[in-house]
Amino acid sequence: MNNKEVVLVIGSGGQIGIELLAALRNMYGNDHVIGADIRPSQEVNGPSEVFDVLNNSQLMAVVRKYNVTQIYLLAAMLSATGEKFPDRAWGLNMNSLIQVLDLAKEKHIYKVYWPSSIAVFGPTTPRNQTPQHTITEPTTVYGISKLAGEHWCNWYHAKYGVDVRSLRYPGLISYTAPPGGGTTDYAVDIFHKALSQNAYTSFLSAGTRLPMMYMPDAIRATIMLMQAPAQNITIHTSYNIASFSFTPSEIAHEIRQHIPDFQMSYEPDFRQQIADSWPQDINDEQARADWGWVPEYSLQAMVSDMIKNLKQ
């Protein structure tokens, strides 16, 4: 491990950020990993900064203050909220990325991680075993921004040699921090409501199958990708990765193995249309071949672990 690395995690208070910050602090040491978010953090294990990622001079000041070498840029507006605030979603998701890529182009930092999403796919994409290279015609502002961002990453790599790496995350399930404004968020809410009320009303229909992943696998994939030798990276847009897929009715069935009287009802809203435009399951053979990706958690193992942790 290079102990000269200084890692800045932007969006460290979010669903992914909280867990990635902890994992990176374990790897590099608390003082070598800086948390940054627009809201002050409760986390006190290491340095943290409060700033708006769109404020370029503040971003630059933080990079200089700590001699940052790598940035994980997680700040973003997700699919459901993005449809309500399209300008803000586009502004945040695009401008933050370009600013960070420019820092790498100008050699202030040397490595960038930026998450993409299954939202780059759309209704014309093959929905089963969706390949790495396929039709990408997204119908959400979030998806458009992720697709454009993937191509910016590819362009900065091709033109300036920027080492930027990316994963197309499926819906992410975790118990530490709630997600905000995504279409796949029902798969987190359902656990909280199952434990507090024994009942949940899903905003997606019973049979809506989507690709999902448990957060420990997502964190492990992210770190594996970032640690892979540069010559192994053949995808400079963003890698497909997969774990398991399920429908609302299938996850309800799994939850009933632990909470037998759990009641599920369905009231699809505008998010149904977003979900219907996304793949049902993803082919991740390129990630497996290039840097050894293999998921660990099954649906059953994820449900048991979520319930065990949320009960505590």
Q: Which of residues 229-268 bind ligand SER (CB under 6 A)?
A: none
Give the residue, chosen from 14, 122, 149, 182, that forms a contact with ligand SER under the rule CB under 6 A. 182
Decide whether 78 or 242 has the Cβ nearer to ligand SER: 78
- Residues contacting residue 157 through CB under 8 Å, at least 6 positions apart: 163, 164, 236
Active site residues: 142
Decide whether 104 or 275 has the Cβ nearer to ligand SER: 275
Binding part of the chain for ligand SER, among 56-64, 115-123, 252-260, 284-292 by CB under 6 A, reads 115-123
Give the residue, chosen from 171, 211, 279, 295, that forms a contact with ligand SER under the rule CB under 6 A. 171
Angle between helices 186-197 and 248-256 (to 10 degrees): 30
Closest distance between ligand SER and the C-beta of residue 141, in Å?
A: 11
For 310, the token pair is 């949320």
For 54, the token pair is 């769109």
Give the residue, chosen from 119, 164, 188, 225, that forms a contact with ligand SER under the rule CB under 6 A. 119
Contact present, 290 and 242 (Cβ < 8 Å): no
CA distances from 49 to 71, 77, 115, 178 (A): 14, 20, 21, 21
Rounded CA-CA distance 145/173 in Å is: 22
User: 305 by DSSP, 3-state: which?
Assistant: helix
Task: Report if residue 169 touches ligand SER, rule: CB under 6 A.
Answer: yes
Task: Report if residue 279 touches ligand SER, rule: CB under 6 A.
Answer: no
Decide whether 12 or 117 has the Cβ nearer to ligand SER: 117
Decide whether 29 or 181 has the Cβ nearer to ligand SER: 181
Task: Report if residue 93 touches ligand SER, rule: CB under 6 A.
Answer: no
Q: Per residue in 186-210, is it b (16+ CB within 10 Å) or e — as a string?
A: bbbebbebbbeeeebebbbeeebbb
Task: Report if residue 184 touches ligand SER, rule: CB under 6 A.
Answer: yes
Secondary structure tally for the chain: helices H, strands E: 11, 14
Rounded CA-CA distance 12/299 in Å is: 26
The site that binds ligand SER (CB under 6 A) totals a number of residues, namely: 11
Which position has the token pair 């396929």? 134
- Residues contacting residue 231 through CB under 8 Å, at least 6 positions apart: none
Decide whether 139 or 183 has the Cβ nearer to ligand SER: 183
Give the residue, chosen from 70, 139, 145, 183, that forms a contact with ligand SER under the rule CB under 6 A. 183
Closest distance between ligand SER and the C-beta of residue 170, in Å?
A: 7
Closest distance between ligand SER and the C-beta of residue 260, in Å?
A: 29
Binding part of the chain for ligand SER, among 2-10, 33-41, 112-120, 201-209 by CB under 6 A, reads 112-120
Q: Which of residues 53-92 bind ligand SER (CB under 6 A)?
A: 78-79
Q: Which of residues 127-156 bind ligand SER (CB under 6 A)?
A: 142
Rounded CA-CA distance 222/228 in Å is: 10
Pairing label, strands 171-173, 210-214: parallel
Q: Which residues bind ligand SER (CB under 6 A)?
A: 78-79, 117-119, 142, 169, 171, 182-184
